[in-house]
């Protein structure tokens, strides 16, 4: 694979949104499929004026398909990033870490799936959007968080406000996709249930238009109804018998 021309001379850009675009463009030119998630992706999936509830973006998070580790390492080092050699040696099969020393910013690379509180497949549909993972996967990476923080809650509200729940290939968040993933994993279902309940309860506390609050709550309720309608797998039903008596989530060192 040839060295990506677009990043030969440039150091990482200060603005994480512009930098995220730069990296995706460079990867595309070099033949590597790379997409953004996290706060940068939420911003890119918002109107030109920005998200309903903007928040500071500290890090950049990307995903690649399995088999792209060597190519993405070459791309990022050329783009001005320093690999975390120890972390990458220990965890490189599923995740890589890099540092932008110019802007004192971390960059995480997820390989094939998003692994935090739960394992969420995010690499199967990377061609659907030119810069980010699809909206359904992006929202699910937020809904899977057990200890929801302020920034993640803002991201959930922004995504659900700007995008309706959709079916098939319609524009919006594919609730059917989220429901299908939750129907296979009781632990993920359990966390998503708690997150949606918490978000619907808390949305009234934000300084936004009451109509916006109502729309967010309505869309989250509609998503949950779709999740509940989905037939559950035998594995889901078996795990549901144990319920909360056994921990149903991982305890990551940090959330996205």
d(CA 252, CA 116): 5
Q: Is 131 helix (H, G, I), strand (E, B) or coil?
A: coil
Tell me what pLDDT residue 15 has. Answer: 97
Q: What is the CATH number of the domain that holds 193?
A: 3.30.460.10
**Number of compact structural domains in the chain:** 1
Comparing 252 with 148, the larger pLDDT belongs to: 148
Tell me what pLDDT residue 167 has. Answer: 78
d(CA 244, CA 14): 44
pLDDT of residue 186 exceeding 50? yes
250 in a domain, yes or no?
no
Phi, psi of 216 (to 5 degrees): -60, -50
pLDDT of residue 21 exceeding 60? yes
Tell me what pLDDT residue 171 has. Answer: 87
Tell me what pLDDT residue 4 has. Answer: 38
Query: What confidence tens digit (pLDDT) does each residue in 145-181 have?
Result: 999 999 999 999 999 999 999 976 678 999 999 999 9
254 in a domain, yes or no?
no
Query: What confidence tens digit (pLDDT) does each residue in 81-97 have?
Result: 999 999 999 999 999 99
Q: Is 93 helix (H, G, I), strand (E, B) or coil?
A: coil
252 in a domain, yes or no?
no
H or E, element range at 99:
strand 95-100
CB count in 10 Å sphere of residue 204: 12
Section 234-251 average pLDDT: 96
Tell me what pLDDT residue 241 has. Answer: 97
100 in a domain, yes or no?
yes
251 in a domain, yes or no?
no
CB 213 within 8 A of CB 203: yes
For the chain, the 3-state helix, strand and coil shares in percent, each to the nearest 5, are 50, 15, 40
Section 39-58 average pLDDT: 97
22 in a domain, yes or no?
yes
For the chain, give the mean pLDDT: 93
Query: What confidence tens digit (pLDDT) does each residue in 216-240 have?
Result: 999 999 999 999 999 999 999 999 9
Tell me what pLDDT residue 149 has. Answer: 93
207 in a domain, yes or no?
yes
- By residue count, the chain amounts to 256
255 in a domain, yes or no?
no
Please tell me the pTM assigned to this model.
0.92
Query: What confidence tens digit (pLDDT) does each residue in 99-124 have?
Result: 999 999 999 999 999 999 999 999 99
Tell me what pLDDT residue 253 has. Answer: 63
The DSSP letter of residue 48 is T
CB 85 within 8 A of CB 153: no
Section 190-209 average pLDDT: 97
Q: Is 86 helix (H, G, I), strand (E, B) or coil?
A: helix
Full domain range(s) for residue 205? 5-245
pLDDT of residue 129 exceeding 50? yes
**C-alpha dihedral, 129 to 124 to 62 to 49, nearest 10°:** 30
């Amino acid at each position: 694979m040839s060295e990506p021309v677009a990043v030969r001379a440039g150091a990482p850009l200060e603005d994480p949104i512009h930098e995220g675009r730069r990296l995706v463009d460079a990867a595309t030119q070099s033949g590597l499929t790379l997409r953004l998630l996290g706060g940068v992706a939420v911003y890119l999936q918002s109107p030109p004026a920005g998200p309903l509830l903007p928040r500071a973006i500290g890090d950049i998070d990307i995903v690649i398909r399995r088999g792209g580790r060597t190519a993405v390492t070459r791309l990022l080092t050329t783009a001005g990033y320093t690999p975390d050699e120890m972390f990458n040696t220990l965890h490189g099969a599923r995740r890589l870490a890099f540092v932008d020393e110019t802007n004192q910013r971390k960059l995480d690379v997820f390989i094939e799936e998003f692994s935090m509180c739960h394992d969420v497949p995010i690499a199967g549909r990377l061609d659907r959007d030119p810069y980010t993972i699809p909206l359904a996967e992006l929202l699910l990476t937020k809904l899977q968080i057990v200890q929801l923080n302020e920034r993640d809650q803002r991201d959930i509200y922004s995504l659900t406000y700007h995008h309706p729940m959709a079916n098939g290939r319609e524009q919006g968040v594919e609730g059917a996709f989220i429901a299908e993933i939750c129907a296979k994993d009781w632990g993920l279902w359990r966390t998503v249930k708690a997150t949606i309940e918490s978000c619907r309860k808390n949305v009234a506390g934000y300084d936004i238009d009451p109509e916006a609050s109502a729309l967010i709550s309505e869309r989250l309720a509609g998503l949950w109804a779709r999740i509940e309608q989905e037939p559950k797998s035998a594995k889901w039903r078996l795990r549901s018998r144990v319920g909360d008596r056994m921990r149903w989530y991982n305890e990551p060192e940090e959330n996205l």
